[in-house]
Amino acid sequence: MAEPDPPRAEQRRTWRSPDRRDEILRAAFALFAERGYRGTSLAAVADRAGLSQPGLLHHFPGKEALLAGVLQMYEKIDAGRLFTGPTATTATETSLDRLAEVIEYNASRPDAVRALAVLAAESVTSDHPARAFFVERYAEFRKGAARALEAEFKRRGQLTSEQAAALTIAVLDGLHLQWLLQPDEIDVPDLFTAFLSLLRQRPIDNN
Amino acid sequence: MAEPDPPRAEQRRTWRSPDRRDEILRAAFALFAERGYRGTSLAAVADRAGLSQPGLLHHFPGKEALLAGVLQMYEKIDAGRLFTGPTATTATETSLDRLAEVIEYNASRPDAVRALAVLAAESVTSDHPARAFFVERYAEFRKGAARALEAEFKRRGQLTSEQAAALTIAVLDGLHLQWLLQPDEIDVPDLFTAFLSLLRQRPIDNN
DNA sequence: CGCGAACTACCGAGTAGTAGGTCGGCAACG
DNA sequence: CGTTGCCGACCTACTACTCGGTAGTTCGCG
């Protein structure tokens, strides 16, 4: 019954309920941020969205579908801002400063940051449904960042742009983790800017 | 069920437990690494340790106590290696290079890294029993790293030693996350060394 | 030495509670 | 009158945890 859906995947997908679906997704997003995927129950999401649990399952076939929807929603919202986009993004517009702006913006919405941080870390556990998503996301993220870095200051010292990209993303995630644990002690935008200034330095033995 | 209890603990079943407790803790550590704290059931830990679930609860009063035991065990094992130690560590011996060695060592035991990464990220969710542990751990970690950094090259450029410490730890955690998602793409020791070389560079406008 | 109380380690069976998911049906609407 | 949105009741599986009991060991005491 709920298994086969090859033909009806295209046009009739959204029916007439995009509003309610979005409400549910927002509720799920908030709860995933607070308690993680495994720590969140469908009943809690349904309650937050103002309907019953079977009512929720009318919109999403299962919990994994909910998670998929949340991740997809996040992608739509945030993908445009960053160099995380598809391969054919205009390379000139993407830059590390642009990323720094996003980080500044993120400081005002810890819930979204927490959701992504929690889900990403959770996804490294075995059989986690978001694992593929994050593997792909990080790969693309690194590729985009490497491109941006290359455009901005080519090769510096011993660092390849791929290495710099991995480090940049690592700094971001690591700072966010510390910030989520101790919001008052960690100023993410400030620290990230400091890291960028490190990246822009010249190597000690060159020129 | 499927295990007929092959190595039934030699002959002497170590009166007064510590062996059995350690077995249980090791099983719990491994499972927390695989599935996280919330994703791990007491029954699964008990099964892995070769006893029943009530048998496990004979050694630990509850699941939180198990987690506490695991974290305590980790602290005992790893605290000595790092500058995470108490305030009165010999400052001369602590260094970033020493940290780099630990990172190299950690590359050979992804399970331990995964356990800490997963538990740390999980602990940012509300009401997580490990939260206090990680808040304290990171605060101490930063303090120790800041001291080591100060000793090694005082103040560099715009970076205070506290900022450098937060960045260093962030790089570590972030790299580990990427590595756990894509082990073949990320060389943590290599990237960390690259980051250290960034830290050691001179500021662009100085000297 | 022997014997039984005390203690440790453990298990079988069960507790209440919660999880994700199913089923049948009801109401509104185009 | 079928599609869409939703709910109450229910199901099964699993959760952490409890209870009562039973081996095996140690030790006090005669």
pLDDT, tens digit, for every residue of B39-76?
Answer: 999 999 999 999 999 999 999 999 999 999 999 998 88
pLDDT of residue A118 exceeding 50, the answer is yes
* Phi, psi for B117 (deg, rounded to 5): -65, -45
| B94 close to B161: Cβ distance less than 8 angstroms | no
Gap between the Cα atoms of A156 and B102, Å rounded: 27
Partners of A90 in the β-ladder: none
pLDDT at B41: 98
pLDDT at A4: 36
A197–B157 CB contact, under 8 Å: yes
Nearest nucleotide to A52 (CA to C1') is D7
The mean pLDDT value for A62-70 works out to: 97
Gap between the Cα atoms of A57 and A180, Å rounded: 31
pLDDT, tens digit, for every residue of B103-119?
Answer: 999 999 999 999 999 99
pLDDT of residue A60 exceeding 70, the answer is yes
Gap between the Cα atoms of A36 and A67, Å rounded: 11
pLDDT at B78: 72
Gap between the Cα atoms of A40 and A35, Å rounded: 6
pLDDT, tens digit, for every residue of A40-52?
Answer: 999 999 999 999 9
B121–A123 CB contact, under 8 Å: no
pLDDT at B100: 87
Max mean pLDDT range (A3-12, A153-162, B183-192) = B183-192
| B191 close to A188: Cβ distance less than 8 angstroms | no
pLDDT of residue A5 exceeding 60, the answer is no
Q: Which of A162, A172, A177, A186 to mutate to test the interface with B (most CBs of B within 10 A)?
A: A177
pLDDT of residue A132 exceeding 60, the answer is yes
Closest Cα in chain B to A128:
B35
pLDDT, tens digit, for every residue of A138-197?
Answer: 999 999 889 888 877 665 567 899 999 999 999 999 999 999 999 999 999 999 999 998
Please give the mean pLDDT across all residues of chain B.
83
Is the CB of A52 within 7 Å of strand D? yes
Q: Which of A40, A124, A141 to mutate to test the interface with B (most CBs of B within 10 A)?
A: A124
Nearest nucleotide to A66 (CA to C1') is C20
For chain A, give the number of residues.
207
| A112 close to A106: Cβ distance less than 8 angstroms | yes
pLDDT at A77: 77
Is the CB of B41 within 7 Å of strand C? no
Helices (H) and strands (E) in chain A, counts: 9, 0
| B166 close to A205: Cβ distance less than 8 angstroms | no
Is the CB of A63 within 7 Å of strand C? yes
pLDDT at A202: 66
